[in-house]
Structure 1
């Protein structure tokens, strides 16, 4: 769906050239509609050499085993999002240790997906019976015979073959940046 009205004042949007590109902009105020975006996150939680997977109970991907994940909320730090999604879908508590991979998917709603390596803290895999109907820790051998989604298989391969720790979460954030989620090489 294309934006037609200003989100700030409600006036109609008109096409204006901004920074060399045609954009939808407000006819009455300074609002510019930069596009439609969504940011998703996923977790790669390993416990005793096994990876946490959940089986999707609804579309998209119903019946496929995937890593837990979901979409960020407007005022939620991304590492809080992935922890929340893991707890909601599987009952497992885990802590972000780094970023494993990023998927960029341009489309009507441009999707960015960030996969996090996470350290298992506690809890037994228990599905929420809304988004997922099964959850557990599985070895690579077990996954070979399961209906694992292609993207999850790719993420597992990336995580297993990683030569370094990728982007790691900054643990000593300066006070002036305390509201940011920061990651470094």
Structure 2
């Protein structure tokens, strides 16, 4: 169970209740249910001239490993904005999210979902932020063979370089109720 102890709505001590056939922490005084703890991570797969953008982690987790740029989404930030910001912050590259190539689901105490984006290069030269990462560059598969590339990043790089599909593509809806949503879909031949 979670380490959450008190209701975030009214402050009453939470109790374990059976809800939807699961034991969950719930408030005995109001309708609040603690559905769990979650995080959403994003990663960039940016290929330029057959080389993939990688950064070397300067902090834990993964200090010393080469990974694709990425991070965690902010509460009020669209997911594609997050990955574009992370690439710029970590590697000094301006890019655009064009699709989703892969997704990782890790159920654990803080359930993590990681979305790997196909990125379009716009401008810039790889420059590390010297805080989260201490090196950045574009590397081909041969160069990566002798680098300390994280196992998950190796899996993602294989998808970026050898995948058979462009994955889910970014979509824009004319419906005003969907204007603030980040929408991605399977390519259909129409862009509506």
CA distance in 2 between counterparts of 1:120 and 1:126 reads 14
Match of 2:153 in 1: 152
C-alpha displacement of 1:45: 0.8
Aligned partners of 1:179 and 1:78: how far apart in 2? 11
Q: Which residue of 2 aligns with 1:92?
A: 93
State the match for 2:12 in structure 1: 11
Could you tell me whether the CA contact under 8 Å between 2:168 and 2:184 is conserved in 1?
yes
State how far apart, in whole Å, the 2-side matches of 1:147 and 1:173 are. Answer: 45
Counterpart for residue 66 of structure 1: 67
What SS does the aligned partner of 2:29 have? coil
Instruction: Report the CA distance between 1:174 and its aligned residue.
Output: 2.7
1:127 corresponds in structure 2 to 128
CA contact (8 A) 1:13 1:25 kept: yes
The total of aligned residue pairs comes to: 185
The Cα of 1:175 is off from its aligned counterpart by 2.2
Q: Deviations over 1:4-40 (max 9, x none)?
A: 0011111110111111211100121111000011100
Q: Which residue of 1 aligns with 2:190?
A: none
Q: How far apart, in 1, do the equivalents of 2:48 and 2:59 lie?
A: 26
C-alpha distance in structure 2 between counterparts of 1:58 and 1:141, whole Å: 26
User: Which residue of 1 is the match for residue 144 of structure 2?
Assistant: 143
The answer for the alignment partner of 1:39 in structure 2 is: 40
The equivalent residue for 1:105 is 106
In 2, Cα distance between equivalents of 1:164 and 1:97: 13
Counterpart of 2:84 in structure 1 is 83
TM-score normalised by the chain length of structure 1: 0.97
TM-score normalised to structure 2 length: 0.93
CA-CA distance at 1:173 after TM superposition: 4.7
Give secondary structure in 1 for the equivalent of 2:97.
strand
- Counterpart Cα distance in 1 of 2:116 and 2:130: 23
The reply to whether residue 49 of structure 1 matches residue 50 of structure 2 is: yes
1:183 and 1:21 map into 2 onto residues whose CA distance is 31
- Show structure 1 runs of 4+ deviating over 4 A: none
Q: Secondary structure at the match of 1:133?
A: strand
Query: Which ranges of structure 2 fall in alignment gaps of 5 or more residues?
Result: 187-192
**Is the 2:50–2:161 contact (alpha carbons within 8 Å) kept by the matching residues of 1?**
no
What SS does the corresponding residue of 1:55 show, helix, strand or coil? strand
| CA distance in structure 2 between the partners assigned to 1:77 and 1:173 by the alignment | 17
